[in-house]
């Protein structure tokens, strides 16, 4: 291994293909054996979600060379399995090297004879999904590392339906990326030549305007917004990312008059200087927003992650005067329950409506869907599988997608995009806030009403980070250990079903019967437990960690919280 790593390092240090800046960076770490090994022990993996890694020089890093190489594989796949004339839409976020990576992607595709529409500034994930469908593109690329720490960047690939790649295209693109054995195979051209030859153009205001109009078609009660717009106070932070323009614009155009943006986090900043983490799942990330909320007496506090596909929420409890943080399950179901109920009541629910969620999302979704007569579908973890269902519905003329959500702070009302859409979620949550305030309720009041009607569903998760080659091996061995000797109980909770999504098998423990999961193969282990509880283990697809999820249904918030703490302790023993 070490000999191969050193050989690759020398190639990068001596070959004229690599620029001086890259070589200078490598010279500073050439005597650090562990660092050199981590940078060169493998090629940065191109998985079903594309690329994601630390920015830097080396084969296991995000840099212009690994981005070009991945793009050459994508170009090869499009030229064989798609229509290069339809083109590829490319957007990017605020991260280190995002504009450079986007341009390198565009120029490689152009050099391969593929039409390219390149965003003229940073734009969020949902607008990328919208743009590629607006232009009827064959594919799309968003340069982003979502909510990862600042040292990361990534490369998400979308297909013609606007969703991130799913089978068979994900496997085909991965194979073509892996087949690019040498940097000598990678094509590129100058920006000037790409424009002059008609392969490269830029998009901007046209897409922004069309996206805004698409968002606003999802509004259910514009009259309520008009009546209450002056009574709702909203604090918002884009976490230095892409959400500022679309979020503030849609709220302004809807008529909300009191929207306060956290000034310290307003502007794009690849270092996320004011944050320990640009992740709306982390309570500490809301410190500045909550401070401003108290100054402005805000009803709701909203944060979008750097690529604006996730939404974090705090709402004011007028009884205590405190702000209560919502999980992604809570905010998603508050929006989802509002949409399903109000569309049923005002007659705008489509025929054969469907709600789509993932296997690690709250079981509350199933209960709410049943209450409003909406078909309920569970898919694998990852919003791309929710987006895929929209395409399947349209092809089969079976169901009409109404709403989709996943536990990781992402949802999508409507079908204008095929990925998580934080600006749309902000819009719907603010409409709901206006609707409930008109009736004397806060969003926290309504969340409690939902719990009282359906049960007190609570969920949690934890992750164990295991970096590098050794960490990846530990994660593999841990999953194998759980898979080969699955628990039959987690304390008071008996395992009723054990689902191994890698084998595609479900074992019913009481009857001993075995059946198929009905979903694609994936390295996920799921335990359906007694009392409507559950837990799940899966390696992250984008970070060097293994994730554990768990959920319970209690008789009160106190009961559900106690149950969740107890179940979490039992699940943690899986990793011992």
Q: Which residue has the tokens 């323009």?
A: 245
CA distance 336 to 355: 9
Once rounded to an integer, what is the mean pLDDT over residues 572-576? 87
- Which residues are part of the catalytic machinery? 146
Are 442 and 299 in contact by the 8 Å Cβ rule? The answer is yes
pLDDT, tens digit, 9 for 90 and up, residues 112-147: 999 999 999 999 999 999 999 999 999 999 999 998
Query: Residue 453 burial by CB count (10 A; 0-12/13-18/19+): exposed, middle or buried?
Result: exposed
Main-chain phi, psi angles of 376, to 5 degrees: -115, 130
What angle (nearest 5°) sits at the alpha carbon of residue 414, between those of residues 411 and 419? Answer: 45
pLDDT, tens digit, 9 for 90 and up, residues 397-455: 999 999 999 999 999 999 999 999 999 999 999 999 999 999 999 999 999 999 999 99
Q: Which run of H or of E encompasses 528? A: strand 525-529
What angle (nearest 5°) sits at the alpha carbon of residue 7, between those of residues 5 and 8? Answer: 65
Percent of the chain with pLDDT over 70: 100
Q: Which run of H or of E encompasses 172? A: helix 169-178
Please tell me what DSSP assigns to residue 14: H
Task: Classify the C-alpha dihedral 468-474-475-477 as positive or negative.
Answer: positive
In this prediction, residue 36 carries a pLDDT of 95
CA distance 384 to 165: 7
pLDDT at 468 over 80: no
Longest dimension (CA), the chain: 71
Q: Helix, strand, or coil here: 135?
A: coil
Half-sphere exposure of 201 (CA within 13 A, CB side): 8
CA distance 278 to 148: 7
In this prediction, residue 542 carries a pLDDT of 67
pLDDT at 178 over 70: yes
Per-residue tokens: 176: 């073509």
Once rounded to an integer, what is the mean pLDDT over residues 447-465? 95
Q: Helix, strand, or coil here: 546?
A: strand
CA distance 87 to 74: 12
CA distance 524 to 84: 36
Q: Helix, strand, or coil here: 426?
A: helix
Q: What are the residue ranges of helices labelled H in 400-441?
A: 422-438
Burial 532-550 (b: 16+ CB within 10 A, else e): bbbbbbbbebbbbebbbbb
pLDDT, tens digit, 9 for 90 and up, residues 246-296: 999 999 999 999 999 999 999 999 999 999 889 999 999 999 999 999 999
pTM beyond 0.75, yes or no: yes
Half-sphere exposure of 425 (CA within 13 A, CB side): 34
In this prediction, residue 98 carries a pLDDT of 98
Q: Which residue has the tokens 């090297």?
A: 97
Main-chain phi, psi angles of 457, to 5 degrees: -85, 130
Per-residue tokens: 160: 């013609």
pLDDT, tens digit, 9 for 90 and up, residues 514-544: 999 999 999 999 999 999 999 999 998 767 8
Per-residue tokens: 4: 């191969």
Crossing angle, helix 125-134 and helix 422-438, to 10 degrees?
Answer: 110
> From the CB of residue 444, how many other CB atoms can be counted at a distance below 10 Å?
23
CA distance 413 to 61: 35
CA distance 145 to 339: 30
Q: What are the residue ranges of helices labelled H in 263-376?
A: 287-296, 328-346, 364-371
**End-to-end Cα, the chain, rounded Å:** 30
Average pLDDT across the chain, whole number? 96
Altogether, the residues listed in the chain come to a count of: 576
Query: Residue 351 burial by CB count (10 A; 0-12/13-18/19+): exposed, middle or buried?
Result: exposed
Q: Which run of H or of E encompasses 80? A: helix 64-81
pLDDT, tens digit, 9 for 90 and up, residues 372-400: 999 999 999 999 999 999 999 999 999 99
Once rounded to an integer, what is the mean pLDDT over residues 333-362? 97
Q: List beta partners, residue 135.
A: none
Crossing angle, helix 64-81 and helix 98-111, to 10 degrees?
Answer: 40
Are 403 and 350 in contact by the 8 Å Cβ rule? The answer is no
Are 571 and 535 in contact by the 8 Å Cβ rule? The answer is yes
Give the strands of the sheet with 375-379, arranged side by side. 375-379, 353-358, 400-406, 410-413
Q: CA–CA distance from 77 to each of 172, 423, 432 (Å)? A: 7, 32, 44
Q: Which domains does the chain have, with CATH numbers?
A: 70-203 (3.40.120.10), 210-454 (3.40.120.10), 457-575 (3.30.310.50)
**Preceding peptide of 50 cis, ω within 30°:** no
In this prediction, residue 543 carries a pLDDT of 72
CA distance 137 to 512: 48
Once rounded to an integer, what is the mean pLDDT over residues 37-41? 94
Range with the poorest average pLDDT among 225-234, 456-465, 539-548: 539-548
- DSSP per residue over 295-312, as a string? HHT-SEEEEE-TTS--EE
Once rounded to an integer, what is the mean pLDDT over residues 454-464? 95
Q: Helix, strand, or coil here: 490?
A: strand
């Amino acid at each position: 291994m070490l000999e191969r790593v050193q050989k690759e390092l020398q190639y990068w240090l001596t070959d004229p293909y690599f620029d001086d800046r890259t070589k200078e960076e490598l010279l500073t770490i050439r005597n650090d054996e562990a660092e050199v090994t981590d940078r060169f022990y493998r090629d940065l993996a191109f998985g079903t979600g594309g690329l994601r890694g630390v920015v830097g020089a080396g084969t296991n890093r995000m840099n212009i060379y690994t981005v070009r190489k991945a793009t050459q594989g994508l170009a090869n796949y499009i030229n064989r399995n798609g229509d290069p004339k339809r083109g590829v839409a490319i957007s990017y976020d605020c991260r280190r090297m995002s504009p450079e990576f986007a341009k390198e992607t565009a120029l490689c595709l152009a050099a391969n004879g593929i039409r390219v529409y390149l965003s003229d500034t940073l734009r969020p994930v949902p607008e990328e999904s919208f743009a590629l469908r607006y232009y009827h593109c064959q594919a799309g690329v968003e340069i982003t590392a979502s909510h990862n720490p600042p040292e990361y960047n990534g490369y998400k690939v979308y297909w013609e339906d606007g969703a991130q790649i799913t089978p068979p295209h994900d496997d085909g693109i991965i194979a073509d990326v892996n087949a690019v054995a040498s940097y000598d195979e990678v094509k590129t051209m100058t920006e000037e030549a790409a424009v002059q030859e008609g392969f490269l153009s830029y998009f901007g205001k046209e897409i922004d305007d069309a996206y805004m109009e698409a968002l606003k078609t999802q509004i259910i009660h514009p009259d309520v917004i008009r009546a209450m717009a002056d009574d709702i106070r909203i604090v918002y932070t884009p976490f230095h990312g892409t959400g500022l323009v679309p979020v503030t614009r849609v709220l302004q155009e809807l008529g909300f008059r009191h929207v306060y943006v956290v000034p310290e986090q307003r502007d794009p900043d690849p270092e996320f200087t004011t944050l320990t983490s640009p992740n709306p799942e982390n309570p500490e990330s809301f410190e500045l927003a909550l401070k401003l909320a108290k100054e402005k007496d805000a009803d709701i506090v909203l944060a979008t992650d750097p690529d604006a596909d996730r939404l974090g929420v705090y709402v004011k409890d007028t009884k205590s005067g405190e702000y209560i943080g919502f999980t992604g399950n809570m905010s998603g179901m508050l929006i989802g329950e509002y949409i399903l109920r109000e569309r049923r009541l005002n007659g705008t629910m489509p025929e054969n409506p469907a709600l789509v969620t993932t296997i690690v999302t709250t079981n509350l979704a199933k209960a709410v869907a049943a209450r409003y007569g909406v078909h309920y579908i569970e898919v694998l973890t990852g919003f791309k599988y929710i987006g895929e269902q929209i395409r399947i519905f349209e092809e089969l003329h079976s169901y009409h997608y109404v709403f989709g959500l996943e536990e990781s702070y992402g949802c999508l009302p409507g079908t204008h995009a095929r990925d998580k859409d934080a600006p749309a979620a902000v819009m719907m949550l603010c409409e709901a806030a206006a609707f409930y305030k008109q009736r004397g309720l806060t969003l926290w009041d309504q969340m409690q009403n939902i719990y009282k009607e359906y049960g007190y569903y609570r969920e949690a998760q934890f992750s164990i980070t295991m970096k590098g080659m050794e960490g990846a091996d530990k994660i593999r061995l841990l999953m194998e250990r759980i898979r080969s000797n699955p628990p039959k109980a987690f304390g008071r909770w008996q395992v009723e079903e054990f689902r191994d999504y890698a084998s595609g098998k479900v074992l019913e423990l009481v009857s001993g019967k075995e059946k198929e999961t009905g979903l694609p193969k994936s390295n996920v282990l799921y335990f359906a437990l007694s009392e409507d509880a559950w837990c799940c283990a899966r390696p992250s697809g984008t970070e060097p960690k293994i994730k554990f999820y768990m959920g319970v249904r209690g008789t009160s918030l106190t009961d559900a919280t106690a149950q969740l703490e107890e179940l979490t302790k039992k699940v943690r023993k899986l990793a011992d």
